[in-house]
Structure 1
Amino acid sequence: MTAPTPTTKTPPRRTGYRDVFAVREFRAVFAAHVLSLSGTVVAVMALAVLVYRNTGSALLTAVSFALSFLPYVLGGALLAPLAGRYPARRVLVACDLLCATATALMVLPYTPVPALLALQALASFVAPLFSGVRAASLGDILHGDAFVLARSLMRIVAQSAQIGGNAGVGLLLVVMSPRGALLITVVGFLGSALILRCGTPQRPPTARERATGGTWTLLRDRRVRRLLALFWLPPAFMVVPEALAAPYATELGVGTAAVGLLLAANPVGSVTGELLAGGLLQPAARERLVLPLALAGLPLFLLFAARPGLTSALLILCAAGMTSAYSLGLDRWFFDALPEELRARGMTLLTAGLMTVQGLGMTLGGLVAEYVPTHAVLAGAGGIGALCVLAVARSVRRAEARRPGSETGPTAI
């Protein structure tokens, strides 16, 4: 009698970006994201040009830029209780309509500059609520690795907008007035609201805020605190070269075109890293690389101590940007650490904190650069940032290694 031939179990097919786009509801959320993000990019630059034309003030122009992220911390703190308490679709559509209304008021020809700045602050104020609720809703649409890749796609779009957005809007403003460009922003927000209203189902709210204690419940959780710190710390130092791109180009004696290249290098690396990690690595491999990648980026900035030339600086920034792929595995850890009823609030807190620390990093880097050569500031940011991330990463490693079923072991870093 012939012995039966042993069967080989076929390993499950790895989820890819194509599988994420195969989900109809995600396609609607993604399209809305592209429209609202495009509108935001146009609004920031168009408003800055409008304010400068009306006042001739460099300070007020800078304030208009700063108001695109400074209200995040206040909005995240005050609006986080709403995240999860109301149906996600209702919250997202309401935020889009509020931003469309605020931008439409900017278009009016007699809107004074203080009102323009206040309207920009209002749009930024609701942004963390919008981002947090949308991120949490992705967990209802997609599960497991598909959720991680969906978050990755959202970041890729944001980084791509940073790479080409300013140049594209600059060309747009050559042929169109700032207020005309702001009309495009209105259309973008309205289009996003329409897609979300028609392309996504109404789900019941998930929060039981009064029973759980809300934000304080999250912040009392050591694992949540550690993971938030690991999300926030690398970007807080990684943005310093962006804030000092113009001074560093001046220090090197290169043309103003180099400033755009320096600003684009890190986002190019980020997009490349996300695509490689999301497209080539298994979920377990991405989780094992969270801590090594989080630690690898900032030490590269120590090379700025030698004041590298433009080409070398671009390579350093691009390589550092590629390490941001650590976010893919970290997304999975963080989402799993959040109680289901507090996921929207947790994602809102994450977004608000991320924007806030980046604003602080840019500000502190610029302040120090008033007294210290730019290349030394960049090297110092790399050294200090690497030590801070190392302390958090060691704490996360110990905690994740003790967690049942974790892929992170003692050799992770």
Structure 2
Amino acid sequence: MTTAQGNGAGAGPLRTRAPGWTDLLRTAEFRPVLAAHLLSLLGVVVSEVALSVLVYGLTGSPFLSALTFALGFLPYLFGGTLLAGIADRHPPRRVLVLCDLLCAACAAVMALPATPVPGLLFLRVVLAAVAPVFAGTRMATLADILGEGELFVLGRSLLRMVSQSAVLIGFGAGGVLLTLVSPRGALLVTVATFLLSATLLRLGTRRRPARAPAREERTSLLRHSLGGARRVLAHRPTRGLLLLFWVPPFFTVAPEALAAPYAAQLGVGSAGLGLLMCAMAVGTIAGELLAGTLLSPASRARIALPLAALTLLPLVAYAAGLGLVTSLLVLVVTGAGSAYTLGVDRWFVDAVPQELRGRAMTLQTAGLMTLQGLGMALAGAVAELFSARAAVAGAGLLGTVCCALLALDVHRTRARTKGCTAPGGRPKGETGRDRHVTGR
């Protein structure tokens, strides 16, 4: 992935260029992973829309309809802690394919006319419990395919951008689809997307052995999962990086959670609501795309902590009583701040030993989704007492203080612990992060 820029006949060291998006897309195994990611995401979003409509149609209950969305967050904590060991105990391709097949089976049962509402909600919980195991395994496998350097950072960034785009497209596509077929018919589309994803992963990626040492297979899954989480969280540098992934999104969900009441306050109708729901995702995609294209790896690392500290600050402007256009600009700028993750991604994969990587990535996903769910609930509670505008501005102010303190702590910890041990108790140089594995 490097090009030498000659400066004479062997005079001086070779200079290398940072890998870019084209290098990423040339990696043979990454392309099916990217396509599978898009398919499974679209399937999940369509299923959420279809299931919400189906449950409301069967019960007439707004609460149960909303619960189908909430159940997409709550089981992440269970799956990401108690089941995390699956990501390291078994060959990763097998885990990914079986997760997709299990999700396809759940969606197929949901589509059956005989499945009652409690069964639909239970299957929704199963889907959500499987999701962090799948996501953590996929992210750990990404480091095997792309190596542990800048290609991994770009690959992970691209998957995040695809996630944001899939949500925007998926909700629209789900709405259109439901004008053509019944909710149970739309769930069959979800079955197809999961099956296609499983096929791409099975045929497009190669088999790799389990990451965990053989001796750990003799321990129970629960002990293996919780033991990995303890090792990751007990290591202060890694714990700080996890919090950098978790804390900013805990606050940034406030505008999304309160978009409907805020749009009502502005009097902008459903069109304005749709723009408010999309603006931050647009900013996120633009920020990561520009950072990955225009900035060098060193520059992305330098801005990571300042950007993490300030990414929520624009939301404080909600206190000034913004109109629709200025609110949209604030949300786009706030979303663009998520580009800080390109720097943190590299630090995180460097900090975690290979045999812990699946569990660490699963724990990261579980914490992220759980805290976003809690953040939405907390934003709603604050808005009940004050207003949507005040709740968003408060999230911006309190979030900025928390993120600034966290960024300062990570900076000090990184400065103190360079050359210290990784979560597995071994010198950081033994984690295998210096090996460049292209996975071609």
Taking structure 2 as the reference length, the TM-score comes to: 0.89
Deviation of 1:6 (Å): 9.8
Q: Distance in 2 between matches of 1:55 and 1:215?
A: 40
Q: Which letter does structure 2 place at the counterpart of 1:122? A: V
Contact 2:75 2:129 (8 Å CA) reproduced:
yes
Equivalent residue number for residue 106 of structure 2: 102
Deviation string 1:130-168 (CA, Å, 9 cap, x unpaired) is 000000001100121001111001100001122232122
Equivalent residue number for residue 192 of structure 1: 197
Q: Distance in 2 between matches of 1:5 and 1:112?
A: 75
Equivalent residue number for residue 388 of structure 2: 374
**Alignment match of 1:340 (pick from 354, 357, 363):** 354
Deviation string 1:320-360 (CA, Å, 9 cap, x unpaired) is 00000001110000111101110000000000000000000
Structure 1 unaligned regions, length at least 5: 407-413
Q: Which letter does structure 2 place at the counterpart of 1:250? A: A
Q: Distance in 2 between matches of 1:195 and 1:90?
A: 12
1:57 paired to 2:61: yes
Contact 2:143 2:152 (8 Å CA) reproduced:
yes
Deviation of 1:297 (Å): 1.6
Matches within 5 A, 1:191-230: 191-208=196-213, 209=216, 213-230=227-244
Deviation string 1:152-205 (CA, Å, 9 cap, x unpaired) is 011000011222321221111111111111111000000111111111111110
Q: Distance in 2 between matches of 1:203 and 1:405?
A: 29
Q: What SS does the aligned partner of 1:24 have?
A: coil
Matches within 5 A, 1:6-405: 7=11, 11-143=15-147, 144-208=149-213, 209=216, 213-404=227-418
Deviation of 1:299 (Å): 1.1
Deviation of 1:97 (Å): 0.5
Deviation of 1:11 (Å): 2.9
Q: Distance in 1 between matches of 2:10 and 2:116?
A: 78
Q: Which letter does structure 2 place at the counterpart of 1:265? A: A
Q: What SS does the aligned partner of 1:268 have?
A: helix
Contact 2:111 2:185 (8 Å CA) reproduced:
yes
Q: Distance in 1 between matches of 2:174 and 2:12?
A: 55
Deviation string 1:268-295 (CA, Å, 9 cap, x unpaired) is 0000001001111111111111111111
Q: Distance in 1 between matches of 2:416 and 2:287?
A: 28
Q: Which letter does structure 2 place at the counterpart of 1:340? A: Q
Contact 1:36 1:192 (8 Å CA) reproduced:
yes
Q: What SS does the aligned partner of 1:80 have?
A: coil
Q: Distance in 2 between matches of 1:76 and 1:222?
A: 20
Deviation of 1:404 (Å): 4.0
Contact 1:243 1:365 (8 Å CA) reproduced:
yes
Q: What SS does the aligned partner of 1:347 have?
A: helix
Q: Which letter does structure 2 place at the counterpart of 1:389? A: C
Q: Which letter does structure 1 place at the counterpart of 2:63? A: L
Q: CA RMSD for the aligned pairs?
A: 1.7
Q: What SS does the aligned partner of 1:83 have?
A: helix
Contact 2:263 2:269 (8 Å CA) reproduced:
yes
Q: What SS does the aligned partner of 2:17 have?
A: coil
Taking structure 1 as the reference length, the TM-score comes to: 0.95
Contact 1:162 1:264 (8 Å CA) reproduced:
no
Q: Distance in 2 between matches of 1:159 and 1:61?
A: 23
Contact 2:87 2:358 (8 Å CA) reproduced:
yes
Q: Which letter does structure 1 place at the counterpart of 2:33? A: V
Q: Distance in 2 between matches of 1:280 and 1:221?
A: 33
Equivalent residue number for residue 409 of structure 1: none
Q: Distance in 2 between matches of 1:203 and 1:7?
A: 41
Deviation of 1:403 (Å): 4.7
Q: Distance in 1 between matches of 2:244 and 2:22?
A: 29
Q: What SS does the aligned partner of 1:239 have?
A: helix
Q: Distance in 1 between matches of 2:170 and 2:323?
A: 26
Deviation string 1:91-146 (CA, Å, 9 cap, x unpaired) is 00110000000000001012101101111110111100000000000110012100
Structure 2 unaligned regions, length at least 5: 1-7, 421-440
Q: Which letter does structure 1 place at the counterpart of 2:196? A: G
Q: Distance in 2 between matches of 1:339 and 1:5?
A: 40
